[in-house]
A and B are shown apart, each in its own frame.
Chain A
Amino acid sequence: MIRTNEPLAREALAKEYGAALQEFVSGAGEAALARAYELGRRAVASGVGLLDLAMLHHEALLALPADGPGARSREVMAAQFLAEGLSPFEMTLRSYQANARLLGLSETLSRQNAEIDRAREQLRAILDATTAVIYLKDAEGRYLFVNRQFQTVFGPRRDQVVGKLDEEVLPAEVARMLRSDDLQVLEARAPRELEETIPASDGAHTYISLKFPLLDAAGTPYAICCVATDITERKRADEALRRAKEAAEDANRDLESFSYSVAHDLRAPLRHLDGFSQALLEDFAGQLDDQGKKFLRYIRESAQQMAQLIDDLLALSRVTRGELHRTRVDLTAIARAVADRLGAAEPARRVDFVIADGAWVEGDPRLLGLVFENLLGNAWKFTAKRAHARIEFGQAQQGGRTVHFVRDDGAGFDMAHAGRLFGVFQRLHSTAEFEGSGIGLATVHRVVRRHGGRVWAEGAVGQGATIYFTLDGQQEGR
């Protein structure tokens, strides 16, 4: 604004305005009207106000020659001239309003900027807090951003890294690998998950690096981002797990071949012991006295006992080895079949079998068959000294689950030793009293456990035994 020149400017303006108005009303046309606009602009520029211009116009009107016949038309023209002269003021006002709007916009902008700054700070805090290495590079490989973990892993501070290339800040080998991986992703224009190995003071670390390109509107990659997670611990754990699994598989294979050779090779010598003892007894009976014959009988008994032991051990190992084939199983039918077989083998014995009807369960029929072979077999064995025995298979409800039991009124056992009953080779009776290998209940225990159940025993010496078992718990693996 040229405030100081205002009076001077107003005087010159008034003079020119009067002349121009007169020209216009006299019919000078558009060119004179354009002068009005020009003068308006000068008024705005030199600080002559709106009211000044109105006054100036009034003075000019008065200075016009006396009214004549076209006076009305002259007034209209004068008003048109004034309007043209005022239009720069109108425009100034508009631009003022526009400025005000811009000012508001800029306030909004700075508020939004503050929000963006806060969001950026939050993002950075998150990126710095994570244990993943995160960095952003442009397409040429210059770092745009690295997080705190980058510095922890690679060493150089972030202000030494931003704007630099890999080979300027990292060991050559690492730089080469990173760049080559980055190029892969940039070329593919798609995310890639890569395993990268980075040397560290405590040995090489393995990272799973998720790399993805940032694409511009045309689909051209202008940057690449990487989020690298250290999986060294996980990898070591995986490796340890794999080795343990292999060892277990080896052990399992060893067990398989051991079982196989037990089945074949350990039985053969026993067969020879028994066979040739028998041959001696037959062919050389005359040369042996009673003592000698008795010893040979002992050899045969021992050989046969050991063969039985081997068979029982094999049966036990089969319980653990095979797959569990679950299906609907009729325990009643199994129990009846076993009871019939026992009765047929020793028809002279008087044993009442009481077998519950309709005992259906989910389980492996072959393995559950073993359970009844052993439980009913035991009951049969331990009631051998009773003139009239009773063996029962039944079911009871206990805490919402079905408990199966096999009960006899035989020799029983001392509850003090109940915990030993289900261990391999554990026997509570002497061989002279009752035969057995001490594997039967261990087999039952394993079968029940594989079905996710529980087995326990109750009894008293001379008052029989009851073996309880459940089958409906959480199933175990092997």
Chain B
Amino acid sequence: MSRGTILLVEDDPRDEELTLRALRKNSIHDQVVVARDGVEALDYLFVRGSHAGRDPDLLPRLVLLDLKLPRIEGLQVLRELRGNLSTGLLPVVILTSSNEEEDRLAAYAAGTNSYVRKPVDFEQFTEIVRQLGDYWLILNEPPPARR
């Protein structure tokens, strides 16, 4: 499997642990960058703040975005990255507890590529992460880099 970066935006360390575990169990060995709130996620994406020193040409192949986040909520992160030329086309998957209609509607309206609800059953979650990896990291052709 080709190596790249996955940006996981997740504030709960237990969810982070479980997501990383599910990725590992599915042999997805891409480097996972974890942003623990909306501000950090945007700092990473826009190469600023605590992430000002990173290689600006290295964009994540996939953003796994939670909706409920401290400081800047997930929907706002999504809107801002969509509004920026360098990150506007990034594949984004909303990974959340909610299946409320309003949340789904707002997420798609803000430009998510996919919306997946985290199940309680960890085995189901592992299966979902496997399918996400297969689809977004292998099957799906990413957008060409904009120059």
Residues of A within 8 A of B (CB): 259-260, 263-265, 267-268, 270-272, 274-279, 300, 303-304, 307, 314
Contacts and interface: CB of A to CB of B under 8 A. Distances in A.
Contacts of A300: 121-122
A275 B25 CA distance: 13
Given A271-B125, A272-B18, A260 B120 contact: no
B120 A264 contact: no
A267 B122 CA distance: 12
Contact of A279 (B15, B21, B98, B119): B21
Interface string B117-132: 0111111010000000
A329 to B, nearest CB: 19
Q: Is the interface of A mostly helix, strand, loop or mixed?
A: helix
Given A279-B21, A304-B120, A304-B121, A268 B100 contact: no
Contacts of B76: none
B114 interface: no
Contacts of A304: 120-121
A275 B18 contact: yes
Max chain A Cβ within 10 angstroms of own Cβ: one of B97, B99, B122:
B122
Contacts of B14: 272, 275-276
B100 A260 contact: yes
Contacts, number: 56
Interface string B77-110: 0000000000000000000111110000000000
B122 A264 contact: no
A304 B119 CA distance: 9
Interface residues of B, number: 19
B123 A263 contact: no
Interface string B53-86: 0000000000000011000000000000000000
B134 interface: no
Given A264-B68, A268-B15, A275 B97 contact: no
6 contacts: A264-B68, A265-B68, A271-B97, A271-B118, A276-B14, A276-B18
B120 A263 contact: no
A268 B21 CA distance: 16
